[in-house]
Structure 1
Amino acid sequence: MSTYIDSLNWRYATKKFDNTKKVSQEDLNSLLEATTLSASSFGLQPYKIVVVEDEAVRAKLKPHAWDQSQITDASHLIVLANQNSFGEELVEEYVENVSETRGIPAEGLQGYADFMKSKLVPLAEDAKAVWTAKQTYIALGNLLSAAAIHKIDSCPMEGFDAEKFNEILGLTEQGLNTAVLVAVGYRSEADETQHYKKVRKSKEDLITHI
Structure 2
Amino acid sequence: MSIGTSQLLESLKWRYATKKFDPNQVIPESKWEALSESLLLTPSSYGLQPWKFLVITNPEIKAQLKPVSWNQSQVTDCSHFVVFTIKKNLTTDHVDSFIKRTAEVRGVAPESLSGYRNIIVSDVVNGPRSLTVNEWATRQVYIALGNFMTAAALVGVDTCPMEGIEPANYDKVLELPTKGYATVVACAAGYRASDDKYAELAKVRFPISDVIETLA
2:97 to 74, 93, 99: 93
Which residue among 174, 194, 213 is the counterpart of 1:208? 213
CA shift at 1:97, angstroms?
Answer: 0.5
Taking structure 2 as the reference length, the TM-score comes to: 0.94
Structure 1: how far apart are the matches of 2:131 and 2:68? 24
- Give per-residue Cα distances to partners, 1:43-87, cap 9 Å, x unaligned: 010000100111011101100000000000001101111112111
**Counterpart AA for 1:202:** P
Shift of 1:175: 1.0
Provide the C-alpha distance between the structure 2 equivalents of 1:195 and 1:124, rounded to a whole number of angstroms. 44
- Pairs within 5 Å for 1:160-199: 160-199=165-204
| Distance in structure 1 (CA, Å) of the matches to 2:129 and 2:212 | 34
Q: Alignment partner for residue 164 of structure 2, among 153, 159, 167?
A: 159
- CA-based RMSD of the aligned residues comes to 1.3
Superposed displacement of residue 185, structure 1 = 0.5
1:104 to 103, 108, 121: 108
Structure 1: 5+ residue stretches without partners? none
Q: Distance in 1 between matches of 2:63 and 2:167?
A: 16
Whether 2:64 is the aligned partner of 1:60: answer yes
The verdict on how the C-alpha distance between 1:18 and 1:196 changes in structure 2, with shifts beyond 3 A counting, is same
Deviation at 1:90, TM superposition (A): 1.7
Paired AA for residue 77 in structure 1: F
Q: 1:137 aligns with which of 135, 142, 149?
A: 142
Shift of 1:125: 5.9
Instruction: Tell me the number of residue pairs that the alignment of Structure 1 and Structure 2 aligns.
Output: 210
Q: How many angstroms does 1:124 deviate by?
A: 6.3
Q: 1:69 to 1:126 in 2, by over 3 A?
A: farther
Q: 2:48 aligned with 1:44, yes or no?
A: yes
The amino acid that maps onto 1:172 is P
SS at match of 1:68: coil
For 1:28 and 1:142, how far apart are their aligned partners in 2?
A: 14
Off by >2 Å, runs of 4+ in structure 1: 122-126
SS of the equivalent of 1:48 reads strand
Paired residue secondary structure (1:3): helix
Q: What is the Cα deviation at residue 126 of structure 1?
A: 5.5
TM-score for both structures, normalised by structure 1: 0.97
SS at match of 1:184: strand
Q: Which residue of 1 aligns with 2:153?
A: 148
Query: Which of 102, 109, 113 is the equivalent residue of 2:117?
Result: 113
Identity %: 37
Q: Which runs of 5+ in 2 are unaligned?
A: none
Q: Deviations over 1:3-61 (max 9, x none)?
A: 11110000000000001111011111111101110110000100001001110111011
Amino acid corresponding to residue 28 of structure 2 in structure 1: S
